Structure 1
Amino acid sequence: MSARTQDELLARVAEAAEMDLFGFRRQVLIPALTFEHAQPFIREGVTAEEWGEAIQAAELLEMAREYYAFALGKIADHRGISATRSVEKLTEYAWLLGRDDIVLAMEAADYEQYGAPKVKAFGLGLELEWPSTEAMTRMAAGEPCRPDCDEGCER
């Protein structure tokens, strides 16, 4: 179970629906609901057995760590939409884990360079390592990966 109640989750899903054009945030939030609470969001005919249990905190933390690693790759590869998805999903993982401090740090960070400052704020909050390459260090500071980047950093 996440650090949030089912009622808090339902409110967050409703809030996300208003700003979640592609459903990225809801992809993280809805699996944390119990079958009973997920009913409005799952297709007709899905059984409780098929739905399974709501995601537990330990599993949630592992999923967040794995998604962080995925997000780092999207930043390094200059993947705009994927980077946006990563920031949105990581924000929801932090929220589900009850880490409002991380959510606030991510909101305060700039988005430049494919969300690198926001993703780094997430990683720092969970004590996850940030890549030590010069490019990723620069991107986390909101700078182009290199001064002459023609992959998108300077656009």
Structure 2
Amino acid sequence: MIARTQEDILSRINHIAGSDDLFGFRQDLLINALDIDHARPFLQPGVTAQQWNRSRWDGYADAEAYGREYLWFAVHKVVNHRSGSASRAVDKLTELAWLLGRDDVVAAVTAAPYPRYGAPKIAVFAEGLSWPLHSSAQDPDGRTAFTRMAAGQPCSPDGCRWCCEE
């Protein structure tokens, strides 16, 4: 569950506002962790507590349930060579680790290299939280494309037509 106080979350939102969160993806994730009273300045006028609670975390029960599903989404963005979406996923997963009070995971993700669409960062996140990685993209040697990419290899042992061989 969320390990940060409402005040901690508001402070972090203020800290990242206008910084490297150009499109507000990190901020959006953090706002989901606020209760209605603290979130109100970020919401449309007239949003009720019931509406807010139903829409938070994309309808998942809590931050962890959302994060576990979002991890699956992130892995598929990497495997499908979706650079912008993969970058956004790394940002959101890093903020999620922070919300869960896992500063060790935040530090490990930050220190991990980004090549291969952030696969190493996402793998470090999953390992740090002991969450399973998901990918349906199996390559011929039985390892998933994501696992290969996280290890710094191209997605396929036969090479990559989308240039993840850099």
Please name the residue that 1:20 is paired with: 21
When structure 1 is superposed on structure 2, of 104-113 and 32-41 the one drifting more is 32-41
Report the Cα distance in structure 2 between the residues aligned to 1:63 and 1:102, rounded to whole angstroms.
17
When structure 1 is superposed on structure 2, of 31-40 and 105-114 the one drifting more is 31-40
Q: Percent identity?
A: 50
- Checking the alignment, whether the CA contact within 8 Å between 1:112 and 1:143 is kept in structure 2 is no
Please name the residue that 2:138 is paired with: none
Deviation above 6 Å: which 4+ runs of structure 1?
none
TM-score by length of 2: 0.82
- Checking the alignment, whether the CA contact within 8 Å between 1:110 and 1:142 is kept in structure 2 is no
When structure 1 is superposed on structure 2, of 45-54 and 114-123 the one drifting more is 45-54
Please name the residue that 2:36 is paired with: 35
- Checking the alignment, whether the CA contact within 8 Å between 1:24 and 1:88 is kept in structure 2 is yes
Indicate which of 60, 66, 69 corresponds to 1:66: 69
Give 1:52 shift. 2.8
- In structure 2, the CA distance between the partners of 1:116 and 1:9, relative to structure 1 (3 Å rule), is same
- Unmatched runs of 5 consecutive residues or more in structure 2: 136-141
The two structures, once aligned, show a CA RMSD in angstroms of 2.1
TM-score by length of 1: 0.88
Structure ranking higher in helix proportion: 1
Report the Cα distance in structure 1 between the residues aligned to 2:147 and 2:51, rounded to whole angstroms.
43
Please name the residue that 1:124 is paired with: 127
- In structure 2, the CA distance between the partners of 1:47 and 1:108, relative to structure 1 (3 Å rule), is same
Aligned AA for 2:165? E
User: Secondary structure at 2:88's aligned position in 1?
Assistant: helix
